[in-house]
Structure 1
Amino acid sequence: MQKLYLQISEGIPGLPLAVNRENNIIIRPIKEILPVENKNKALTAYLIDPDFIIKNSEHIISHKLAPGSILLWNPDGDQCSTLRAAGKIPDNLIYQEIHSLADEKQFLRIIRNLYRTLFLENELSRKEESLRIKNKENKELLEVGIALSAERDNDKLLDLILRRIRGITVSDAGSLYLINTDAKTEQKSLLFKIAQNDSNPADFSEFSMPLNKKSIGGYVALTGEVLNIKDAYLIPGNREYSFNKSYDEKTGYRTKSMLTVPMKDHKDTIIGAIQLINRKKNTAARISSKETARKMVLPFNKENESLVLSLASQAAVSLENNMLYQEIENLFEGFVRASVTAIESRDPTTSGHSNRVALYTVGLAEAVNLNNSGIYRNVNFSEEEIKEIRYASLLHDFGKVGVREHVLVKAKKLYPYQLEQIKMRFAYIQKAVELSVMRERFNFLLSEGKEAYSAKIGYFENRVKKRLAEIDNYLTSIITANEPSVMAEASSNLIEKIRLGVWVDQQGTESPLLTDDECMKLRMKKGSLDDGERLEIESHVTHSYQFLRTIPWTKEMKKIPVIAYGHHEKLNGAGYPRSLVEEEIPIQTRMMTIADIYDALTAMDRPYKKAVAKDRALDILKYEVEDNHIDPELLKVFIEAKVFKKTSDS
C-alpha cells in the first residue's frame, strides 16, 4: 500500500505529540512507529523529527507500516531535494508540502483530505491488482481450455486436467474419479483414475471403489455438492462421509485442506469428481509432516471453489468430447474392419493379407523414423501419419469388391467348370472309343466267324488300351498345363497338338479335343489369368481409389486414397494403372508396395502358388530393386530392421 508523505515548513503550535483522537485521526510520535497495528481502522499519522528521518529514512520508508499510514515530516526544501536525489524518497509515494497552518483543526482537515487522496490511490491500486489477478486467471483458463481441447489421448487428458487445476490453485496433491458403468450388469462404481502428489510422488495404478456416500469422492459424485474441508482430520462425526487416513498412515503424508468438486458435462450430468489436497503458500513447499502442513497449508477459499468448478465443467466437456471422438474412431475402425472382412469374404484365399500388409507397412514406417542414415534419415512420420498409412494399407484392396468373384478367386488357368467339361468330354471320348472297337469286334465276329475272332481278341484289346492310354495321357497333360506355374515350350507344343486332334460323336460330327479358348488359356506362359482377366483384376486398384475418394476424410487422413492408389506402380513406370515413375509415387505408397509384394510371396494361403521361404522372398525383392521396380533404400531398411519378422502377435 502507498504511504502519504506530508512536508511541513512551519511548526504547528499546540500540536500534541501524545496520542490525539479526533475525527478518527490518530497522531503518534515517531518513537511509536515500531510496531503499529491500526486495529481501530482510524487514520494514523506519524510526526517525524527532521533529523531523525534524515538519519533513518531508509528504515522508515522500507518498514511495513499499518495500512492507511501517513508520515508527517518537516525538513526544509534542501533536505527534501537531497533525500529525493539520494533515492531516499520513492517517486511513487505521495507527499504534501504545507507552508502554514492556522490551527489544529485546519491541520486535521488537511490530513483528512490527504487521506482521501491516499484512500483513492490505494483503492485504485487494489482494483488494479484484482484486475491483474483476474486477467491472469482468465489467461490461465484460456490456456487450459486450449490445452484440453487439443489433447486426444484420454490418459494424457486426465493427467493434464488434474495437473493444470492443481497448478492454478497451488495444490500439493489431487486425484480424479470417474463414474464407471458396467456394460453387462449396469452396476455403477467410482473409478479412481489418476492421482498426483508433489510432496510424495509414487507410482499409481487405477482401481475401482464402491459408489456411495461414505467416501468424500463418492459423496460429491452422487450429490453434486462441493466439499470444502479446512482439515480432513476434523470432519464432524455426524457427516455421511469420512476421510480415509490409510494413505497418510502408510506414507507419513499429512492431508489437511481438501476441495472436492463434481465434474458435470454439458447436460449437467455428473461424470466424476476432482479432489484437490493441501493448498500451499507457495508451489515449492513440500508437505512431509503435520508440522509442515500446519505452516504451509492454506484452506481453499470461495474463489478457489468457483475457479475449480469452472475448470471441472470444462474438463468434463473435454473428456466427453474425447470419449465421443474415441467412439467415432472406434466406429471408423469397425467400418475399416468390416470392409476388410467384406474383401476377404469374396476372396478367402487371401484372408489376412490386408492386415499383414498394414502390419509390415506400419512397421517399415516406424523403422524409417528410427533410421539415421540414407536419403530417408530426415523423414519422420507423425502419429497421425502412421495411422493414415495403416488405414490406407488395410483398405488398399477394397476395390476387389468390384471384380467378378469367379475372376477374383480363379486359381488355375481354366475355371473349374471348364476343366470339368474337358474331363467329361474325354470320358465320353473314351466310351466312344470302347464302343467303336466293340462294334468292330462284333462286325468281325459276324463276318469272319468265331474261330477267326478268337485269334484277333488280343489285337482288339490292345487297340482299346492304346487308345484309352493316349486319351489319359492327353488329359493328364491338360491337368498339368492347367497349373499356373511357368510353362515349358514342350508342354505348350503338346497342348497345341491335342487341340489339333479330333473326335467323332454318335452323329458322326467331328469336334476338336480342345477348343481354341481352352487351348489359349492352357498355353499361357505363367499365372492363371488371361489378358482380359488380368485387366479386370488390375482394375481393383482404380475401384479402390474411386471408393476411397468418396469418403469425407479428415485433414489427417486425406492422403489415404492416393497412398492406396499407387501400390502396384513401379519406379520405372512399368506398373499399373497409371504407369507412374519414381518422383510421382509417395514414400508411403513405396513402403506399401514392398509390404504387398513380400506378403504375396510368403503367404501360405494362395492356392495358385506355393509359399516362398522368407530368404527367397527377400532375394526376389532384391531382383525387383535391380529391375528398378521398388525403392532400394526402403528395402534396405525393411531388411535391416527385420520388419519382415513382424507378426500380429508382435
Structure 2
Amino acid sequence: MGKRKKNYFVKHFEQIFVLTVLVSVSIINYYIPYKLAFLNFYYLPILIASYYLGRNQTLSGAILCILWVVIYAYLSPESFFFEQTRSNLFYNIMAWGSFLILAGIILGNAQDNNKQFLKNQIALSKKLAIHLAVSSGLNSEMDFDTLFPLIIHRLTEAMKAERTSLFIIDEENQEMWTKVAEQIGEIRLPLGEGVCGRVAETGETINVKDAWELPYFSKEFDLKYNFRTKSMLCMPITNRAGKRIGIIQVINKLEGEYFNREDQELLQGLVAQVAIALENSFLMDELEVSFESSIRTLSATVDAKHPLTAGHSLRVTEYALMIAREINLDKEEQEIIKYSALLHDIGKIGIHDSVLLKDGPFSPEERAEMNTHPAKTETILEKFHFPARLKTVPFIAACHHEKVNGQGYPEGLKDEQLPLGSKILAVADVFDALTSPREYPKYDGEKKLGFNPMPLAKVVSILKKERGHQFDPNIVDAFLRILPNALELHRGTHFPEEYINKYTETL
C-alpha cells in the first residue's frame, strides 16, 4: 500500500504541488486582514503551473486567480487598502492581474516549446534508432540472395506494414523483377506496368489510402492470393549517380489507416540506405564474376596445354560441387571447393613440357616430377590474394592426391589430417581421370588397364574397392548417389551415349 501511494504521488506531483500552493495562498488570504501585500503570492502557483502544465492551463489558472481576487475585493474591499478609493484598488488589481497573465503566458510558452522540443527529440531518437537497426544489418551484408529478404524484413518491421515488396530494375530487358514466397518464385513485369512500374518509369513517389482506387493498380495478385491491398507507399530506389535501380513498396499500415507524411520521410531515409546496400551488393557480384572468370580462364589455360586434359578441371569442379550439395555443405564451403577444384592442377605449369606433354608411360624420374605438381599448386596459390573466406583453397587444392590411408602424395597425410574439401576433390579427380582418355595408362593396383576411358562399371568397382583406403567412404557413397546426374550432365559430349548405356545395362 505504501509503495502504491508513493508511485501515485510521484506520478501526480505537478498537480499536487500546485494545489498545495493554491491552498496555502488561500489560507493566507483568509487569515491575513489586509490582502494587497499578499497579491504577489499568486505568482508562485502561476509560475509553477506554467512550467508543469503548459500555457493554456496556466492562462486559465491566472484568470481564475484574478476572478477570485476581484470577488474578494468586491465583497470585502476594506481588506485591500488603507485610505484608498475603490477605483484605485481595482486599477491596482488590473495591473497586477495583467502582469500575472503575462508571466503565465511567457513561462507557459517556454514550457510548451520545451515540451515540443523534447517531443521532437524523442521522435528523432526513435527515427535514428530505426535507421540504425536497418543499416546495421544491410551494411554488413554483401550477398544479394541474403540481402534481398533482409531488406524486405527490416523495412516491413520499420514501417509497421503488413507487407513489403522490393523490385529490381532490369534495364537491358526493360523489366523489373522481384522474389516472392518460394511457392510463387520470381515475378517479372514490364516497366510501366502497375504502380511499381509507374514509379520505375517516372521516379515519382505514390502514397495512397486505397490502392484499388488507382486506375493503373492491378488487382490480379490480390484476387489470385486472396489479399487486399489498401494503403500503399511506393518509392523509387536511386543510386548515388541518380539512376533508378529499384522500387520499394510498403502495403497496409498496421498502426493507422494510411502512411502519413512522417512515414514517407522515414521511408525516404531508409530507401537511401537500401540503395547503398544494393549498390555494394551489385559491385560485389561484379567483382565475384570477374574473379571467377579469371580463375576459370587460368584453369582452362592449364588444362589446354594437352588436348586430352582439356575441360578436366571444369568437370572435376562440377562433380565436386554435386558431392558438396549432396552432403549439405553450406554456400561458403561450396565456394571454397569450387575454387580449389578449378585450380587443383595449376601446379602443372611448373612441370616440364617434355613430361607434361609426353605421349606414353612415364619413366620413374618423370613420374616423380609429375608428382610434384600438387606441391607446386600450393606454392603458386599461396601467392594469390584470396579473400579471407577462401584462405584454405591452396591447401585443399594441394591435397587432391592424398589418400585417407596416408599412402598419397605429396605429404602422405592421413584421414584426420585431410580437409573435407580435398577428400571430395580426390574422388572427383580420379573419376574424371578414369573416364577420360589419357596419354599415360591407367592402373588397377599393379594391373595396367590402358589409355582409353575405363568402362563405367569398372570405375564404380574401383571407387567402391578404395573406400576407406584411398577415399573417404562417405564421399564415395555420396558420389555414387549423384553419379546418374553427373552422367546426364555430359551425356552426348564427354560421355558418348553407348558409353553410358553399357553401364546402365549392368545395373
Change (3 A) 1:128 1:365: same
1:208 aligns with 2:142: no
Mapped to 1, the partners of 2:358 and 2:405 lie a distance apart of: 29
2:176 to 173, 191, 207: 191
Q: Is the 8 A contact 2:404 2:472 kept in 1?
A: no
Partner of 2:265 in structure 1? 306
Change (3 A) 1:275 1:117: same
2:458 to 599, 616, 628: 616
- 1:72-117, Cα deviation, whole Å (9 max, x unpaired): xxxxxxxxxx999667945321212123422797797555333213
Change (3 A) 1:341 1:614: same
Change (3 A) 1:410 1:125: same
1:537 to 360, 363, 370: 370
Mapped to 1, the partners of 2:183 and 2:431 lie a distance apart of: 47
- 1:147-200, Cα deviation, whole Å (9 max, x unpaired): 223434434423322332222111233433333222xxxxx624142469xxxx
Query: For structure 1, which segment, 528-537 or 241-250, has the greater mean C-alpha deviation from structure 2 after superposition?
Result: 241-250
Query: For structure 1, which segment, 312-321 or 592-601, has the greater mean C-alpha deviation from structure 2 after superposition?
Result: 592-601
Partner of 1:291 in structure 2? none
Equivalent residues in 2 for 1:27-426 (5 A)? 89-94=8-13, 95-96=16-17, 97=20, 98-101=23-26, 102=29, 109=43, 111-119=45-53, 130-182=120-172, 189-194=174-179, 203=184, 205-211=186-192, 216-232=195-211, 242-244=216-218, 254-281=228-255, 297-369=256-328, 381-412=329-360
Q: Is the 8 A contact 2:161 2:253 kept in 1?
A: yes
Equivalenced residues, count: 409
Partner of 1:597 in structure 2? 430
Q: Secondary structure at the match of 1:275?
A: strand
Q: Is the 8 A contact 1:347 1:405 kept in 2?
A: no
| Superposition deviation, residue 384 in structure 1 | 0.7
Q: Is the 8 A contact 2:426 2:471 kept in 1?
A: no
| Superposition deviation, residue 529 in structure 1 | 0.5
Change (3 A) 1:399 1:127: same
Mapped to 2, the partners of 1:541 and 1:165 lie a distance apart of: 50
Matching residue's letter, 2:24: H
Change (3 A) 1:533 1:150: same
Q: Secondary structure at the match of 1:323?
A: helix
2:383 to 550, 554, 559: 550
| Superposition deviation, residue 643 in structure 1 | 4.0
- 1:203-253, Cα deviation, whole Å (9 max, x unpaired): 364122234xx8543443344443333444667xxxxx8544555566775
Matching residue's letter, 2:155: I
Q: Is the 8 A contact 1:360 1:595 kept in 2?
A: yes
Partner of 1:26 in structure 2? none
More helix by share: 2
Change (3 A) 1:108 1:153: same
Mapped to 2, the partners of 1:390 and 1:269 lie a distance apart of: 35
Change (3 A) 1:252 1:83: same
1:587 aligns with 2:424: no
Mapped to 2, the partners of 1:164 and 1:598 lie a distance apart of: 47
- 1:271-306, Cα deviation, whole Å (9 max, x unpaired): 22222233232xxxxxxxxxxxxxxx5232222222
TM-score for both structures, normalised by structure 1: 0.55
Mapped to 1, the partners of 2:152 and 2:416 lie a distance apart of: 48
Mapped to 2, the partners of 1:158 and 1:364 lie a distance apart of: 28
Q: Is the 8 A contact 1:176 1:195 kept in 2?
A: no
- 1:98-138, Cα deviation, whole Å (9 max, x unpaired): 23422797797555333213236887666556544433332
Q: Is the 8 A contact 1:258 1:278 kept in 2?
A: yes
Mapped to 2, the partners of 1:360 and 1:125 lie a distance apart of: 68
Matching residue's letter, 2:462: I
Q: Is the 8 A contact 1:350 1:606 kept in 2?
A: no
Q: Secondary structure at the match of 2:165?
A: strand
Q: Which has the higher contact order (CA 8 A, sep 6+)?
A: 1
Q: Is the 8 A contact 2:347 2:377 kept in 1?
A: yes
Larger Rg: 1
Mapped to 2, the partners of 1:334 and 1:259 lie a distance apart of: 41
| Superposition deviation, residue 396 in structure 1 | 0.5
Partner of 1:475 in structure 2? none
Mapped to 2, the partners of 1:570 and 1:83 lie a distance apart of: 79
Q: Is the 8 A contact 1:389 1:588 kept in 2?
A: yes
| Superposition deviation, residue 320 in structure 1 | 1.5
Equivalent residues in 2 for 1:442-457 (5 A)? none
Q: Secondary structure at the match of 2:285?
A: helix
Mapped to 1, the partners of 2:322 and 2:216 lie a distance apart of: 52
- 1:360-390, Cα deviation, whole Å (9 max, x unpaired): 3333334444xxxxxxxxxxx4321121012
Q: Is the 8 A contact 1:230 1:300 kept in 2?
A: yes
TM-score for both structures, normalised by structure 2: 0.69
| Superposition deviation, residue 575 in structure 1 | 2.9
- 1:327-347, Cα deviation, whole Å (9 max, x unpaired): 111112212221232122212
Partner of 1:58 in structure 2? none
| Superposition deviation, residue 553 in structure 1 | 0.2
Q: Is the 8 A contact 1:359 1:648 kept in 2?
A: no
